[in-house]
């Protein structure tokens, strides 16, 4: 196959089909999903108040110049939440008053944020998006939440997620559907979809997120945000995570600008630094070094829409114009790798239902878990004997420092196969087999970076025909967040994106 031939092949003949309730073209074995046309409204709260249309770095400068006060920023965020949340349904709980346990002198002092509902925040319950948990108010903060508070971030609420974070949309029996600010008929992605919705709508400039299979990058792609899943061990996490057979979970944040994400990692590193990883440092702009970038165009049977292919082509053109060397490469992970991750995923769902009190510190009522959790857990019985070998193979990937990048500095893939689907497409009432089939076709590009422990970044470099964001994923070797951030600065400057649905 010649360079970038896969991108251009979709311009040739096609066959119209109907599948799963949406129209698609089948072009050279690629399923090309057309836009859904019943668009909803957009939600954008960037009004002329203390927050304005500022990102975090701008707000910090304004605080330093005493143009605004932290109390004003908090009041503005709460007011914006009141305006937006009836349409978005992104908050599970509100924090009306300033937190006394948040630092008044930390580097982000006064910046309002939100905390995802799978981490404890003292005084509020943690439900993990599930009706199967009857949580009491937390008696302490989760380790990463403590770090956020020490940095000075001020929570104004907790945010929605799907049950246990197991799927890639933020729809649950407990909270209902969280809606995308770019189009309220569409999913925000998941599992950090509540946080993504509030950042994208301008309610807060930065939000807590975490990622066990794409849960930072997927909502970043759906909502037009910057989402960096860091290297394994880069940020503080709960001790329980390290006891997983394969540690796939990392903490992080969602922002609207590259410099906000870079500033967060610089400040977080000053409070906690992993000596096993190279320092990220204070990244403030692009590097002069030109990179070797491998772009994945042969998707090994995964569904990729025409809009997504066009976004890849555009991104390749930008990278080449900037002087980077871009080569077409094979997808580094096989179908066997995907099966191994699915088996591990099933093991985690089963463990959550059976041993939830040991995992999350409170009982899980398995009679009240959702279809997808139940179906995923039940898969374990049909594949139990294969789990040990799958775990062995996944651990071998986790030991590779190149994380599948080979001789390339960065790999480029889509974050998702197509634009955000309609609410209900992956909802809690969908039959398990249908849900799993749709999910695997849509979200097959992110999970293996969790296995390898490599940093992976979503940037909102594309737009669908209907105007919703399409994220591009950039993956580097373990410990190379600085490389990704420098490249992100360069791409943001060369191809600026709208930071909010109306901006």
Q: What's the pLDDT tens digit per position in 352-379?
A: 998 877 777 778 999 999 999 999 999 9
Flag whether pLDDT at 289 surpasses 60: yes
**Does residue 400 sit within a domain?**
yes
- Mean pLDDT computed over 447-462: 96
The values of phi and psi at residue 355, to 5°, are -125, 35
Asked if omega into 191 is within 30° of 0 (cis), the reply is yes
Residue 457, token pair as written in the block: 């970044």
Give me the pLDDT at residue 354, please.
87
In angstroms, the Cα distances linking 221 to 189, 200, 422, 468 are 8, 11, 15, 9
Residue 252's DSSP bridge partners are 209
Residue 40, token pair as written in the block: 């909803």
Give me the pLDDT at residue 399, please.
86
**Does residue 499 sit within a domain?**
no
d(CA 232, CA 237): 10
- State the CB neighbour count (10 A cutoff) for residue 339: 14
Range list of H helices, 167-207? 193-200
Give me the pLDDT at residue 23, please.
34
Range list of H helices, 384-498? 387-398, 432-442, 447-452, 481-494
Q: Quote the DSSP letter at residue 153.
A: -
CB-based contacts of 124-129 (< 8 A; 24+ apart in sequence):
124/93, 124/95, 124/158, 125/93, 126/158, 126/360, 127/92, 127/174, 128/161, 128/163, 128/164, 128/165, 128/360, 129/160, 129/161, 129/162, 129/163, 129/164, 129/165, 129/170, 129/172, 129/174, 129/175, 129/191
Q: Is 321 exposed, middle or buried (0-12, 13-18, 19+ CB in 10 A)?
A: exposed
Give me the pLDDT at residue 315, please.
98
Q: Between 166 and 25, where is the model more confident?
A: 166
- Mean pLDDT computed over 197-207: 98
CATH number for 463? 3.90.1300.10
Q: Is 37 exposed, middle or buried (0-12, 13-18, 19+ CB in 10 A)?
A: exposed
**Does residue 170 sit within a domain?**
yes
**Does residue 120 sit within a domain?**
yes
**Does residue 336 sit within a domain?**
yes
% of residues, the chain, pLDDT over 90: 81
**Does residue 502 sit within a domain?**
no
H or E, element range at 179: strand 179-180
Question: Positive or negative CA dihedral for 143, 101, 257, 263?
Answer: negative
Q: Quote the DSSP letter at residue 384.
A: G
How many structural domains are present in the chain? 1
- State the CB neighbour count (10 A cutoff) for residue 79: 16
Q: Between 21 and 151, where is the model more confident?
A: 151
Q: Between 136 and 491, where is the model more confident?
A: 491
d(CA 109, CA 73): 11
**Does residue 150 sit within a domain?**
yes
**Does residue 500 sit within a domain?**
no
Mean pLDDT comparison of 116-120, 327-331, 401-405, highest-scoring range: 116-120
Q: Does residue 47 come out as left (phi exceeding 0), alpha (psi in the -120 to 50 range) or beta?
A: beta
Catalytic positions, please? 116, 191, 215
In angstroms, the Cα distances linking 253 to 115, 154, 257, 268 are 10, 14, 11, 11
Q: Is 26 exposed, middle or buried (0-12, 13-18, 19+ CB in 10 A)?
A: middle
d(CA 444, CA 433): 16
Q: Is 217 helix (H, G, I), strand (E, B) or coil?
A: helix
* pLDDT, tens digit (0-9, with 9 covering 90-100), for 105-126: 999 999 999 999 999 999 999 9
DSSP labels for 106-119?
Answer: STTTT-EEEEETTS
**Structural domain range at position 306:** 5-10+18-494
Q: Between 474 and 398, where is the model more confident?
A: 474
Average pLDDT across the chain, whole number = 91
Q: Does residue 486 come out as left (phi exceeding 0), alpha (psi in the -120 to 50 range) or beta?
A: alpha
Give me the pLDDT at residue 20, please.
36
d(CA 373, CA 428): 9
- Mean pLDDT computed over 138-151: 97
Give me the pLDDT at residue 299, please.
67
Residue 250's pLDDT band, with cuts at 50, 70 and 90, is: very high
d(CA 160, CA 137): 17
Q: Tokens 């997983």 belong to which residue?
A: 244
Range list of H helices, 224-334? 239-242, 258-271, 306-321
* pLDDT, tens digit (0-9, with 9 covering 90-100), for 68-105: 999 999 999 999 999 999 999 999 999 999 999 999 99
């Amino acid at each position: 196959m010649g360079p970038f031939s896969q991108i251009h092949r979709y311009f040739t003949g096609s066959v119209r089909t109907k599948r799963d309730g949406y129209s698609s073209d089948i072009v050279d074995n690629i399923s090309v999903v057309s836009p859904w046309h019943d668009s909803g409204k957009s939600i954008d709260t960037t009004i002329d108040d203390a927050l304005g249309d500022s990102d975090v770095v701008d707000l910090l400068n304004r605080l330093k110049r005493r143009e605004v006060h932290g109390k004003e920023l908090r009041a503005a965020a709460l007011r914006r939440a009141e305006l937006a949340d009836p349409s978005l349904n992104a908050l599970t709980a509100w924090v009306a008053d300033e937190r006394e346990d948040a630092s008044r002198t930390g580097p982000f002092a006064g910046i309002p944020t939100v905390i995802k509902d799978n981490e404890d925040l003292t005084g509020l319950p943690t439900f993990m998006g599930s009706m199967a948990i009857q949580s009491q108010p937390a008696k302490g903060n989760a380790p990463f939440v403590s770090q956020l508070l020490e940095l000075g971030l001020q929570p104004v609420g907790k945010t929605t997620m799907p049950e246990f974070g197991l799927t890639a949309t933020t729809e649950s029996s407990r909270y209902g559907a969280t809606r995308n600010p770019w189009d309220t008929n569409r999913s925000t992605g998941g599992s950090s979809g509540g946080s993504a919705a509030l950042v994208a709508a301008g309610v807060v400039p930065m939000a807590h997120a975490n990622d066990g299979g794409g849960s930072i990058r997927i909502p970043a792609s759906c909502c037009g945000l910057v989402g960096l899943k860091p290297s394994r061990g880069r940020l503080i996490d709960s001790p329980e995570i390290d006891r997983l057979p394969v540690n796939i979970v990392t903490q992080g944040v969602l922002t609207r600008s590259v410099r906000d994400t870079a500033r967060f990692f610089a400040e977080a590193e000053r409070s906690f630094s992993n000596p096993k990883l190279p320092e990220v440092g204070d990244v403030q702009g692009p590097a002069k070094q030109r990179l070797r970038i491998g772009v994945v165009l042969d998707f090994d049977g995964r569904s990729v829409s025409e809009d997504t292919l066009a976004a890849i082509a555009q991104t390749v053109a930008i990278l080449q114009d900037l002087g980077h060397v871009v080569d077409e490469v094979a997808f580094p992970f096989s179908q066997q790798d995907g099966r191994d991750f699915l088996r591990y995923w099933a093991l985690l769902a089963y463990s959550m239902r059976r041993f939830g009190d040991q995992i999350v510190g409170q009982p899980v009522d398995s009679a009240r878990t959702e279809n997808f959790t139940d179906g995923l857990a039940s898969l374990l019985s049909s594949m139990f004997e294969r789990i040990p070998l799958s775990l062995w193979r996944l651990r071998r990937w986790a030991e590779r420092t190149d994380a599948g990048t080979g001789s390339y500095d960065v790999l480029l893939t889509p974050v998702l196969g197509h634009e955000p689907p309609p609410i209900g497409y992956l909802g809690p009432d969908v039959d398990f087999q249908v849900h799993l089939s749709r999910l695997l076709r849509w979200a097959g590009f992110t999970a293996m970076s969790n296995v390898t422990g490599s940093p992976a970044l979503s940037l909102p470099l594309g737009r669908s025909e209907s105007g919703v964001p399409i994220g591009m994923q950039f993956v580097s070797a373990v410990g190379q967040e600085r490389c990704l951030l420098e490249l992100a600065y360069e791409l943001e400057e060369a191809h600026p994106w709208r930071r909010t649905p109306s901006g």
